[in-house]
Amino acid sequence: MPYQSPVTDIRLILSHVAGFDKVAETERFSEATPDMVDAILTEAARMCDDILAPLQRAGDTHPARLENGVVRTSPGFDAGYAAIAEGGWVGMSASPDHGGMGLPITLAMAVNDMMSGACLSLQLNPLMSQGQIEALEHHASDEIKALYLPKLISGEWCGTMNLTEPQAGSDVGALQSKAEPNGDGTYAITGQKIYISWGDNDFSENVCHLVLARLPDGVPGTKGISLFMVPKIIPNEDGTLGDHNSLRVLSLEHKMGLHGSPTAVMSYEGAKGWLVGHEHGGMAAMFTMMNNARLGVGIQGIGTAEGATQHAMAYATERKQGRAGGTGTIIEHADVRRMLATMRAQTFAARSIALSCAVAIDMATATGDPAWKARAALLTPISKAFGTDTGMEVSSLGVQVHGGMGYIEETGAAQYYRDVRVTAIYEGTNGIQAMDLVGRKLSDGGEATYQLLEEICDDAEAAKAREPELARLVWDAAESLLETTEWLVTCDTPDDRNAGAVPYLRAFALVLGAQAHLAAALADPKRRALANFYIRRLLPEHRALLAHVREGAEGLMEISPDDLAA
């Protein structure tokens, strides 16, 4: 049973959970009519199902490799990438000024979701370009925009993000790469960068690196960092290609998964670069790039969860075993049914949150309303962390449904489990996301959160007549989350908030997921069974998580390294 893009679920979420109709009603996105949305989802699904999904296993069994300094990609990835580029999927939400389709980011994320489920390692490539396009649109000079954006949007060139250095991971401010003015408006970039996803490939004409580095007068820490465009091949002003830049791939990492995506150690050796944004303004530009990428990575987790769920469903409905009634396949066992229902229900919850986040981004773009901006900012770390946690949890259940077969690589279940593991780490670990949520995102005194929780309570109130029991459970959960949020806002120390940041984020996501399931049940009677499962069986975890949060840091930091030794 081959992969089928989850068009039905996405449509339901757009229409009845995430409120996409509001986006289509704005002038900015008035082209996103229901017919247009249908056409896009259908067309993208065809590409994902027919062209990308068949590449999934080759990306694992034939990893990208470095040959004489050149990256050779997995078999078929060149044709897969060409399909993505030619379909216009890289620049879907990019501005039409430089060839983009100007569509809502929500649709781009829906397509990213489908592509991730089909072939995660290849999908990571256009995701990087999308982040770069957005960063350039917001921060680059007109010259850079005119030169780079058309090529990135068409997919002729690819983009990468160069943040991390060996001694500077989550603490970006510790980076040491240098940028020296060349005197002609360009800069000489020198330094080593690690974990560069798709740092090179053999199917695009050029690879454009956005590199964080420090100018000679840059102060230590994040405030002294600037962003530079450093192309692999230096383009002429007309967009034709000139000389090779002074940069190279030193090596590719040997990773647990995602073997189709080359993760490079990059060396910049006085490479020519162009400033993007203001001097010392690199962090702002980077956050633009990362915000998009954070939601995109959450979507990667969700897409992988989708792929793993379909894979397990196919096995469970074919594998005959035991004396269970019905068809005699293992899906008739209550425990297998529980696992599959958990997979589907969590995937739906995570997808709903991420697409709601995307809708908030679009609404902020279309209306400029700070409330939408705050909503998007609030939902971004939740989408990233819960989406990727869901990817891990669901792919692990996928392995388990397969029993012994799940541990054998040829089955393919293990690949989802290995591939998705990195999504909880890159673009800011899930711990960093959670600290962002309880830190920066509550620094408004909790206003954006309270507004969202009020909406959930209102939704539950409105649902009471038709779904009294489920509505009550959702209302209670939102109230509990509200109380703990109030407690967090008044916490004295960052440690008190950070100690429970990860459980708080998960509790928040569970409540949002319950809201989504309730909405789905109201919209479609066929969704009631799954909503019931989620709200009655999975949602209760939020109480335990909130109890954890309320403990704060007291007693935690007293557990010494000695106490943690065996």
> Residue 16 or 145: which CB sits closer to a second copy?
16
Q: Is 209 helix (H, G, I), strand (E, B) or coil?
A: strand
Question: Which part of the chain contacts a second copy (CB under 8 A), choosing from 154-162, 206-214, 240-248, 430-438?
Answer: 430-438
Residue 256's CB is within 10 A of a number of other CB atoms, namely 11
Between residue 348 and residue 387, which ones bind a second copy under the rule CB under 8 A? none
Specify burial of residue 246 (Cβ count, 10 A radius: 0-12, 13-18, 19+): middle
Q: Is 242 helix (H, G, I), strand (E, B) or coil?
A: strand
Total of residues contacting a second copy (CB under 8 A) = 103
> Residue 86 or 409: which CB sits closer to a second copy?
409
Specify burial of residue 4 (Cβ count, 10 A radius: 0-12, 13-18, 19+): middle
Calpha distance 282→420 (Å, rounded)? 29
State yes or no: residue 407 binds a second copy (CB under 8 A).
yes
Question: Which part of the chain contacts a second copy (CB under 8 A), choosing from 49-57, 445-453, 454-462, 532-540?
Answer: 532-540
Which two three-digit tokens encode residue 509? 């996501």
Which two three-digit tokens encode residue 78? 């060149």
Question: Which part of the chain contacts a second copy (CB under 8 A), choosing from 86-94, 279-287, 310-318, 447-455?
Answer: 310-318
State yes or no: residue 320 binds a second copy (CB under 8 A).
yes
Considering only 77, 198, 417, 504, the residue that binds a second copy (CB under 8 A) is 417
> Residue 190 or 347: which CB sits closer to a second copy?
347
Residue that is written with structure tokens 């499962």 in the block: 533
Q: Is 236 helix (H, G, I), strand (E, B) or coil?
A: coil
Between residue 544 and residue 563, which ones bind a second copy under the rule CB under 8 A? 544, 547-548, 551, 553, 555-563
Calpha distance 449→466 (Å, rounded)? 27
Between residue 18 and residue 57, which ones bind a second copy under the rule CB under 8 A? none
> Residue 139 or 421: which CB sits closer to a second copy?
421
Calpha distance 62→67 (Å, rounded)? 14
Considering only 434, 470, 518, 520, the residue that binds a second copy (CB under 8 A) is 434
State yes or no: residue 479 binds a second copy (CB under 8 A).
no
> Residue 244 or 526: which CB sits closer to a second copy?
526
Minimum distance of a second copy from residue 320's CB (angstroms): 8
- DSSP notation for 496-534: HHHHTHHHHHHHHHHHHHHHHHHHHHHH-GGGHHHHHHI
State yes or no: residue 147 binds a second copy (CB under 8 A).
no
Between residue 250 and residue 269, which ones bind a second copy under the rule CB under 8 A? 253-257
State yes or no: residue 462 binds a second copy (CB under 8 A).
no
> Residue 67 or 563: which CB sits closer to a second copy?
563
Question: Which part of the chain contacts a second copy (CB under 8 A), choosing from 79-87, 238-246, 284-292, 321-329?
Answer: 321-329
Q: Compute the Cα dihedral for 397, 398, 401, 402 and give only its sign.
A: negative
State yes or no: residue 446 binds a second copy (CB under 8 A).
no
Minimum distance of a second copy from residue 277's CB (angstroms): 25
State yes or no: residue 525 binds a second copy (CB under 8 A).
no
| Rounded (10°) CA dihedral 8, 290, 203, 276 | 140
How far from 554 is each of 94, 428, 471, 493, 561, CA to CA, in Å? 47, 26, 35, 11, 16
Considering only 190, 430, 484, 515, the residue that binds a second copy (CB under 8 A) is 430
State yes or no: residue 495 binds a second copy (CB under 8 A).
yes
State yes or no: residue 195 binds a second copy (CB under 8 A).
yes
Question: Which part of the chain contacts a second copy (CB under 8 A), choosing from 103-111, 234-242, 363-371, 495-503?
Answer: 495-503
Question: Which part of the chain contacts a second copy (CB under 8 A), choosing from 35-43, 360-368, 412-420, 482-490?
Answer: 412-420
State yes or no: residue 62 binds a second copy (CB under 8 A).
no
Calpha distance 417→312 (Å, rounded)? 12
Considering only 499, 512, 519, 521, the residue that binds a second copy (CB under 8 A) is 499
Calpha distance 205→232 (Å, rounded)? 9
Q: Is 427 a catalytic residue?
A: yes
Calpha distance 324→337 (Å, rounded)? 12
Q: Compute the Cα dihedral for 556, 557, 562, 566 and give only its sign.
A: positive
- Which one-letter amino acid corresponds to residue 307? G
| Rounded (10°) CA dihedral 539, 541, 546, 547 | 140
> Residue 332 or 372: which CB sits closer to a second copy?
332
Q: Which of 67, 427, 447, 558 is catalytic?
A: 427
Calpha distance 248→265 (Å, rounded)? 9
Considering only 56, 123, 201, 310, the residue that binds a second copy (CB under 8 A) is 310
Q: Tell me, what DSSP letter sits at residue 235?
A: E
> Residue 38 or 455: which CB sits closer to a second copy?
38
CB 305 within 8 A of CB 347: yes
> Residue 145 or 344: which CB sits closer to a second copy?
344
State yes or no: residue 87 binds a second copy (CB under 8 A).
no
Minimum distance of a second copy from residue 17's CB (angstroms): 14
Site track 154-183 with a second copy (rule: CB under 8 A), x = hit: ----------x--xxxxx--x---------
Pairing relation of β-strands 178-181 and 187-197? antiparallel
Q: Which residues are catalytic?
A: 427
